[in-house]
Structure 1
């Protein structure tokens, strides 16, 4: 169920008798919690009023819980709270006397619309809200800087104060009392001239006090800057757009700070989109005569992942080097479609054409003894089909295994300094549980110029299988046709397997996971090893700081990664997330080094001045 609003639910916090609390994200992937009144309570006027009053009362209380959006007139009223201020949705239900239960107990806990709900236990103070939107304007705008409503709310004026004149002071009728100490002369005589030694010490004392004051002022200035300003430049308000143009957004695809988000954040930057353009000629198997004089060209699209900073990538062999039989079948389909466009073949006759010619033809290169040419191009983050030049990087096939021995291929990119993944080849293949999988996919109907983005999900293990001598996982879900060559990762963000086609299925869906132990063969044959670069290790350290709440450290380390490894968009995204959280929590940072140098210099100069002044005054008063 979704509210009528800008939010997408990601996971339930819990359910109670009158509604459900959810984790959700808005259109910019900012996290909120949403309380929704459901079932019998949603149709009960006293409960609707109590729900609105509770939200209003929480917002008006000193230090209370402000919300960023609401629709209290909806069929299922809802209120959204920023996650940075705590789990507001849960607190709203607790204010109504309702405790949350696991979502699995929804059928037993939530009173359905056909049931009867008891009246609210006690009314909640506060005027009911009869409109949707932010809290009552008299409260002022919400504290969160990314409030959904940016319009300025006119300040409500209180009753105009009526000026009153102060009561006139009563005139005193008594005369001033007589001076009890009349005297014809001044009572305080001027003191004599101070001695020279006294003047010297007064001067020295004043100078010492000046030094102390100067030190105190500079220290307070430097300390004040360090105590209230974050270590890195922080914007005054939250950005209204997403933190970065990252195709993969772990914080929006899984529950924030969950093991899934953290694992995906670690491994996600290594994903790449691969397009293979295969060019060849169909020939008669017996005579080698060309079936068509023009070359036949077709594309294969898949996912890969970087294994070291030198630009080596692992992917599926069936994508970047399809077998001759598969290539021939795809080429025959391409020729048949061309004949349909030329009106030389009916569209319904395409399968028959392929079947009739599959055993009679060969697919070769420009020479009958050569293999078809394969041009590889690789894109990062978000990708678009049919792109050969920039921003795509060229790739070269190094090694490829046959389908029955692992189906793993090694590709060398024409680009280096890329974020790499780490392996876990010792992962055990079992027939139970779930795997976190990631790869490229598209929602576009047309495949030629479709847009592909990295995506991820949890897939249940459906069983185990065999591929040659390898044990493989079979999973019950996939990420789409271009996801083969993608990854399955463990909670530490290490790759435990590669997604591949299930050849036993008619649709050949990408529902097989080849274990990471299969990678060593093709890598060993090429003399290539998997390794993390220094930016990769720093990125993981920065993520660890982010997920453990050490935001200044995360900002500094992830900022360095952005400079050294610009191909990692998640480093920039998590750096900005850390900046935002650092600002919200007002994390203090130490004063800049130049402030302390200034302090030391000022102190030294004043001390030298003191010595010179004492020496000068000493000579003068001798």
Structure 2
């Protein structure tokens, strides 16, 4: 029967005498491995406590599996592990002494309802058949006094003499007969007796009275006493070390993986759900994501006949272009895709014609099937201008942090203007200056991370809405591989990618493992249908900033946020809470700071509530081990000396 819980269970992965392991999927479609305590063990309090203690012990062990969710109070307690944590359920039940086995094998019994027989084998001493009565099988409890379950395997009952035990005879239903020794063979017929000569006991010249040997020295006793003294001294030294160090503060371990960020940011972007928890990918996303922005450029102008200047439509045509971008310094400078915010005139003209054509389709003045032909027939002889024929169309640029909604021109959208651009063959980049300073920023990295065969993490904006006008956009990420270097599209070499993250991701970024920007996403003009599968190396972005006299830099809040993340991912929860709280209270729009602050606080509470293990056994056994090694060395020396004396 499938267990109950907040998961969709798919199949059992293992069973044992006290529980089972299941593959399951959570609400975010992440694959999980669930360990469940079942049967009579689930109704037995010592087993429930042992199950809970085993899960917590593994979570606090360096390198041990950490659970992401658990319910120890359920009728059948369960613990959930990410699928990336290998053999987590096996290790949990193994710690309980109940290793998992394949669910396809024959079923196993319930250890909590079984009694282990106490077997006292009896070895027969004569050739008389032994009675087939079984030895006493007094049932004992399957629970140890400590509450930790023990294996239900009986001790070996094979007698040392090799004779079958009484319980074996009883099990087979036939008596066990010990074979009688064969009789002596009959002697040959004796011949005539030979005369016997009487033996003189005093005829031998050998000495009859031997002197007593001299007493052997008691070297072994002395060495044994010395070894015992060493053991006592080692144990005492271990106790002294433990007493001296027990009160010293140890660095807190990273808490169990259950403490994922629970304060979901308004951005809807959750790095811990788009990468393995606590992985380098999650950390890179958490580092850079606050500095990414949604970019929307709004263009307004008139379509005119290129020969006569006559208007194709008496009212202006307005269209939008949407993409991604990133903040490069606290002064409000944003880098994005050039064709998004400052398209070339032919690109803007074609987009304006399609916008007007759709208006005509909506007014029943043009059919949708004729739209493409209508645009092609007018592209060559049409101009897109401002209100005056000799003026360019007007444009505005807006950026939004976190989650964004298309069509916004007021708060939370932030207005900006294009400062400088680079042509398509020179990197297709644009520098925008927004009106609000002190936004979260990113750090520029080393483009050496871009090479064919290398993997990078892409981040950019994406939407699943079908209505373009007020669609909601959130960040999306994916780890992809650099497939080739493209030098045929201009003086700036491009890096082609094996995949993309959507049509609005141009202007987005590629990250190295430290969360630094190493490339900017752009259209692949050579193929892939113009998808955003090319990367402009970050060197082109640095050159554009230098041309505009802009220095890329992190702000004070950015540096504090990165220190807080470092504390979070290294298990220093107190420091993480303090530093991330300061960032969240700063009000610069970094909503992930609050999410990770809350996670660190939750993890801190879990760590404080977890039982602390004493290091006394480790110290004590280390001392005893040293003493035993010393005693063994003395024994080897003694044995060598005794052999030398022979």
**TM-score with structure 1 setting the length:** 0.64
- Within the candidate set 307, 311, 325, 1:286 is matched to 307
Contact 1:424–1:495 under 8 Å retained in 2: yes
- Give 2:48's aligned residue: 59
- Give 2:99's aligned residue: 97
SS at match of 1:118: coil
- Give 1:350's aligned residue: 371
**What is the alpha-carbon distance in structure 1 between the residues aligned to residue 81 and residue 104 of structure 2?**
29
Contact 2:510–2:518 under 8 Å retained in 1: yes
SS at match of 2:432: strand
- Give 2:558's aligned residue: 536
- Give 1:363's aligned residue: 384
Q: Report the alpha carbon displacement of residue 283 of structure 1 after superposing the two structures with TM.
A: 1.3
**What is the alpha-carbon distance in structure 2 between the residues aligned to residue 363 and residue 419 of structure 1?**
36
Alignment of 1:135-154 (within 5 A): none
SS at match of 2:388: coil
Matched, 1:436 2:457: yes
Change (3 A) 1:120 1:450: same
SS at match of 1:325: helix
**What is the alpha-carbon distance in structure 1 between the residues aligned to residue 378 and residue 77 of structure 2?**
62
Q: Report the alpha carbon displacement of residue 564 of structure 1 after superposing the two structures with TM.
A: 2.5
**What is the alpha-carbon distance in structure 1 between the residues aligned to residue 276 and residue 383 of structure 2?**
51
Contact 2:458–2:510 under 8 Å retained in 1: yes
- Give 1:478's aligned residue: 500
Q: Report the alpha carbon displacement of residue 7 of structure 1 after superposing the two structures with TM.
A: 4.7
1:404-458, Cα deviation, whole Å (9 max, x unpaired): 1100110011111111100113424311132101111111111111111112111
1:40-73, Cα deviation, whole Å (9 max, x unpaired): xxxxxxxxxx966677776342735497469x99
Larger radius of gyration: 2
Change (3 A) 1:449 1:69: farther
- Within the candidate set 493, 500, 508, 2:522 is matched to 500
Alignment of 1:535-574 (within 5 A): 535-574=557-596
Change (3 A) 1:21 1:486: farther
Structure 1 residues without counterparts, runs of 5 or longer: 38-49, 100-110, 128-226, 231-236, 589-622
Q: Report the alpha carbon displacement of residue 123 of structure 1 after superposing the two structures with TM.
A: 4.0
- Give 1:604's aligned residue: none
**What is the alpha-carbon distance in structure 2 between the residues aligned to residue 52 and residue 509 of structure 1?**
55
**What is the alpha-carbon distance in structure 2 between the residues aligned to residue 325 and residue 448 of structure 1?**
23
1:90-147, Cα deviation, whole Å (9 max, x unpaired): 4456465248xxxxxxxxxxx7xxxx922256644379xxxxxxxxxxxxxxxxxxxx
Q: Report the alpha carbon displacement of residue 78 of structure 1 after superposing the two structures with TM.
A: 11
**What is the alpha-carbon distance in structure 2 between the residues aligned to residue 23 and residue 473 of structure 1?**
38
- Give 1:151's aligned residue: none
Q: Report the alpha carbon displacement of residue 521 of structure 1 after superposing the two structures with TM.
A: 2.2
1:354-401, Cα deviation, whole Å (9 max, x unpaired): 111111111112222222111111111111111111111101111111
- Give 2:331's aligned residue: 310
**What is the alpha-carbon distance in structure 2 between the residues aligned to residue 377 and residue 4 of structure 1?**
48
Matched, 1:463 2:453: no
**What is the alpha-carbon distance in structure 2 between the residues aligned to residue 240 and residue 4 of structure 1?**
24
**What is the alpha-carbon distance in structure 1 between the residues aligned to residue 518 and residue 583 of structure 2?**
25
Contact 1:56–1:126 under 8 Å retained in 2: no
- Give 1:487's aligned residue: 509
1:487-517, Cα deviation, whole Å (9 max, x unpaired): 1000011000111111223632111111101
- Within the candidate set 286, 299, 302, 1:265 is matched to 286
- Give 1:415's aligned residue: 436
Contact 2:440–2:588 under 8 Å retained in 1: no
**What is the alpha-carbon distance in structure 2 between the residues aligned to residue 399 and residue 268 of structure 1?**
24
**What is the alpha-carbon distance in structure 2 between the residues aligned to residue 497 and residue 315 of structure 1?**
11
Contact 1:21–1:90 under 8 Å retained in 2: no
Bigger drift between 239-248 and 463-472 goes to 239-248
SS at match of 1:307: strand
**TM-score with structure 2 setting the length:** 0.62
- Give 1:103's aligned residue: none
Q: Report the alpha carbon displacement of residue 542 of structure 1 after superposing the two structures with TM.
A: 0.7
- Give 1:518's aligned residue: 540
Q: Report the alpha carbon displacement of residue 8 of structure 1 after superposing the two structures with TM.
A: 8.7
Change (3 A) 1:489 1:7: farther
Alignment of 1:62-77 (within 5 A): 63-65=53-55, 68=70
SS at match of 2:375: helix
Matched, 1:81 2:94: no
Q: Report the alpha carbon displacement of residue 481 of structure 1 after superposing the two structures with TM.
A: 1.5
Contact 1:419–1:565 under 8 Å retained in 2: no
Change (3 A) 1:501 1:63: same
- Within the candidate set 364, 375, 379, 2:400 is matched to 379
Contact 2:450–2:482 under 8 Å retained in 1: no
SS at match of 1:470: coil
Structure 2 residues without counterparts, runs of 5 or longer: 57-68, 115-248, 253-257, 611-646
Change (3 A) 1:238 1:262: closer
Contact 2:263–2:594 under 8 Å retained in 1: no
Matched, 1:453 2:440: no
Q: Report the alpha carbon displacement of residue 24 of structure 1 after superposing the two structures with TM.
A: 6.7
Change (3 A) 1:405 1:25: same
RMSD: 3.8
- Give 1:325's aligned residue: 346
**What is the alpha-carbon distance in structure 2 between the residues aligned to residue 462 and residue 451 of structure 1?**
31
Q: Report the alpha carbon displacement of residue 342 of structure 1 after superposing the two structures with TM.
A: 1.7
Change (3 A) 1:56 1:359: farther
**What is the alpha-carbon distance in structure 1 between the residues aligned to residue 93 and residue 490 of structure 2?**
56
- Give 2:623's aligned residue: none
- Give 1:391's aligned residue: 412
SS at match of 1:420: coil
Contact 1:385–1:449 under 8 Å retained in 2: yes
